[in-house]
């Protein structure tokens, strides 16, 4: 019974429909086919002994391929002593503009919150305590995510300071392996400084975009094991995969004229983030509607809802079911 679900997911079937529907949007982790080799590279980096000049690593990839979630997973596993990591890996998201993009300041802030519940400062005492905490807690690496485009967001002096901070983190005082994540613009930024390029150029790796192939089919099948639907969904068909990939296809920009239109495609492949959003919404509605499975039609209606296109008849049926359920 319900063998199509993981053991933990089967427990969610006991929840009321409204709660179970929302569980479709919870964070789930499905092993990333393209990320397996990349994870091994990161683990090797973290396992290396601390030396006077510790190597770094750059991870580049198109938006939505899953690099941020993969980096977050590395940090989560390392802090929970899972996954065979030799030390802890801090994760810092540079897209939060309120916290700024000063790498050293952001690192001291995040480390201070981990160690003592408040940020470290640049005072000599705090600075020394922070460096001691890195070794005491066995923090071996720090990930700066969304690191691309910083050269356009800061002055030339602040960019110079950022490069100096990267060098400082890798030196013996901190003894850290620095992992930078971003889009292809990151590679261009690293080439602005010869020393930085010499440290990251040979350790720059790309997380490939998702193609409509068997790897994607395996990912979808694994992902559905975490969706609390009572009935199995036929997601292994080529028709289902083609539809999902089509709905998550890259946006096209330009005028709205139909004839003679030249579209500029931002990417050749579909976004994993978008595909997951569509699957989650389709599963959520399958619980609410009582269908308890998804198919090609579910994908299209889910995509329509995400675009704000409502099916009036479907909404009436849904509201009627909810009313009947709450009045019993």
Cα atoms found within 13 Å of the Cα of residue 61, Cβ hemisphere only: 27
Predicted model pTM: 0.83
pLDDT of 327 over the 70 cut: no
Distance CA 275, CA 282 (A): 11
Cα–Cα distance measured from residue 228 to residue 292, given in angstroms and rounded to the nearest whole number: 9
Tokens representing 18 are 């409204």
Strand partners, 182: 60
Q: Give the 3-state secondary structure percentages of the chain, helix then strand then coil, rounded to 5.
A: 50, 10, 40
Q: Given this model, what pLDDT does residue 323 score? A: 62
Q: What is the pLDDT of residues 110-130, one digit of tens each?
A: 999 999 999 999 999 999 999
Does residue 255 have a pLDDT over 70? no
Q: At CA 245, angle to CA 240 and CA 250, rounded to 5?
A: 160
> What's the pLDDT score for residue 286?
96
9 contacts 230 by C-beta, under 8 angstroms = no
**Measured distance CA(121)–CA(241) in Å, rounded:** 51
Token pair in block for residue 28? 């789930």
Are the C-beta atoms of 221 and 3 separated by less than 8 Å?
Answer: no
Cα–Cα distance measured from residue 266 to residue 259, given in angstroms and rounded to the nearest whole number: 21
The rounded distance, in Å, linking the Cα atoms of 68 and 94 is 11
Look up residue 269 and give its DSSP letter.
S
pLDDT at 264 over 60: no
Asked if 143 and 179 count as a contact pair (C-beta separation under 8 A), the reply is: yes
Q: Quote the pLDDT of residue 106.
A: 94
pLDDT the model gives residue 268: 66
Residue 325 has pLDDT above 60, yes or no: no
Going by their DSSP bridges, the two strands 204-206 and 177-182 should be labelled as unpaired
- pLDDT, one tens digit per residue, over 3-41 is 889 999 999 999 999 999 999 999 999 987 788 889 999
Note the pLDDT of residue 262. 46
Question: Model confidence over 43-73: pLDDT tens digits?
Answer: 999 999 999 999 999 999 988 888 999 999 9
Other C-beta atoms lying within 10 Å of the C-beta of residue 250: 19
Dist. CA 108–CA 121, nearest whole Å = 7
> Is residue 256 predicted with pLDDT exceeding 50?
no
Q: Is residue 96 predicted with pLDDT exceeding 80? A: no
- Residue 250: is its pLDDT beyond 80? no
- Return the percentage of the chain with pLDDT > 90, whole number: 63
pLDDT of amino acid 238: 95
- pLDDT digits over 188-233, tens only? 888 888 888 888 878 888 888 899 999 999 999 999 999 999 999 9
Q: Return the pLDDT at 195.
A: 87
Q: In the block, which residue shows the tokens 């973290």?
A: 46
Query: Could you tell me which residues come within 8 angstroms of residue 42 by beta carbon, excluding any fewer than 6 positions away?
Result: 57, 74, 89, 141, 179
């Amino acid at each position: 019974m319900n063998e199509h679900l993981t053991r933990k997911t089967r427990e969610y079937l006991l929840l009321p429909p409204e709660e179970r529907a929302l569980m479709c949007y919870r964070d789930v982790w499905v092993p990333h086919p393209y990320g397996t080799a990349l994870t091994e590279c990161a683990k090797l980096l973290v396992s290396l002994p601390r030396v006077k000049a510790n190597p770094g690593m750059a991870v580049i990839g198109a938006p939505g391929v899953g690099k941020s979630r993969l980096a977050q997973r590395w940090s989560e596993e390392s802090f929970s002593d899972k996954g065979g990591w030799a030390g802890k890996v801090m994760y810092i998201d540079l897209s939060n503009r309120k916290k700024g993009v000063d790498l050293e300041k952001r690192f001291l802030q995040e480390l201070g919150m981990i160690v003592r519940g408040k940020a470290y400062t640049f005072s000599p005492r705090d600075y020394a305590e922070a460096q001691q905490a890195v070794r005491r807690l066995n923090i071996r690496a720090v990930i700066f995510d969304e690191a691309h485009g910083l050269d356009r967001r800061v002055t030339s002096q602040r960019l110079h300071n950022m490069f100096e901070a990267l060098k400082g983190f890798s030196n013996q005082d901190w003894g850290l392996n620095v992992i930078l994540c971003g889009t292809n613009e990151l590679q261009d930024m690293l080439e602005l400084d010869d020393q930085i390029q010499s440290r990251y150029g040979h350790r720059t790796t790309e997380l490939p975009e998702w193609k409509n192939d068997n790897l994607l089919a395996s990912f979808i099948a694994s992902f559905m094991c975490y969706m609390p639907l009572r009935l199995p969904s036929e997601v292994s068909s080529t028709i289902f995969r083609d539809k999902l990939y089509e709905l998550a296809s890259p946006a096209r920009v330009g005028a709205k004229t139909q004839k003679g239109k030249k579209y500029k495609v931002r990417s050749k492949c579909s976004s994993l983030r978008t595909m997951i959003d569509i699957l989650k919404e389709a599963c959520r509605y399958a619980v609410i509607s009582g269908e308890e499975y998804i198919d090609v039609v579910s994908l299209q209606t889910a995509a329509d809802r995400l675009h704000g296109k409502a099916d009036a008849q479907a909404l009436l049926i849904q509201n009627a079911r909810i009313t009947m359920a709450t009045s019993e």
